[in-house]
């Protein structure tokens, strides 16, 4: 299906959720942007506890829609914030931003095709 989402999970979600699948995608698009914006703001304010929480939230919601690489990157970001590894966090945030953009493009394409 695509490069950034687990095709098997997407297929299962479509079958299980039927008409609600569209709502899941719409909610993900809204919430993922909000969570990442909050994570970036938390980093800019050097609030590692908040960064950890927002990364955790984005990790879970991304996992739920099959965005496995994004979920993994968010897990690394969450862990880095928890361990106060400030040095690597800007690069991880940039990786998350890039992967999130790709995932959002694929989710939007799926959503518009429903």
Q: Which of 40, 52, 48 is nearest to 78 (CA)?
A: 52
**What is the DSSP code string of 23-61?**
HHHHHHHHHHHHHHHHHHHHHHTT-HHHHHHHHHHHHHH
pLDDT value at 2 more than 90: no
Mean pLDDT throughout 64-68? 96
85 φ/ψ sector (left φ>0, alpha ψ -120 to 50, else beta): beta
pTM score: 0.94
pLDDT value at 67 more than 50: yes
Q: Residue 22 has what pLDDT?
A: 94
Percent of the chain at pLDDT exceeding 90? 92
What CATH number does the domain located at 7-112 have? 1.20.120.160
- pLDDT tens-digit profile of 11-20? 999 999 999 9
Range from 1-5, 16-20, 57-61 carrying the lowest mean pLDDT: 1-5
Domain ranges of the chain: 7-112
pLDDT value at 1 more than 50: no
Tokens at residue 5, please?
A: 């989402």
Q: Looking at residue 74, what DSSP letter applies?
A: H
Residues in the chain, overall count: 114
Q: Residue 114 has what pLDDT?
A: 80
Mean pLDDT throughout 43-68? 97
């Amino acid at each position: 299906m695509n490069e950034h989402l687990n095709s098997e999970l997407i297929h299962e979600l479509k079958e299980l959720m039927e008409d609600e699948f569209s709502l899941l995608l719409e909610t993900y698009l809204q919430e993922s942007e909000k969570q990442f914006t909050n994570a970036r703001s938390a980093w800019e304010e050097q609030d590692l506890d908040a960064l950890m929480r927002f990364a955790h939230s984005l990790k879970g919601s991304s996992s739920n829609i099959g965005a496995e690489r994004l979920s993994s990157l968010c897990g690394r970001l969450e862990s880095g914030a928890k361990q106060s590894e400030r040095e690597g966090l800007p690069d991880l945030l940039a990786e998350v931003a890039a992967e999130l953009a790709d995932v959002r493009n694929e989710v939007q394409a799926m959503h518009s095709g429903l």
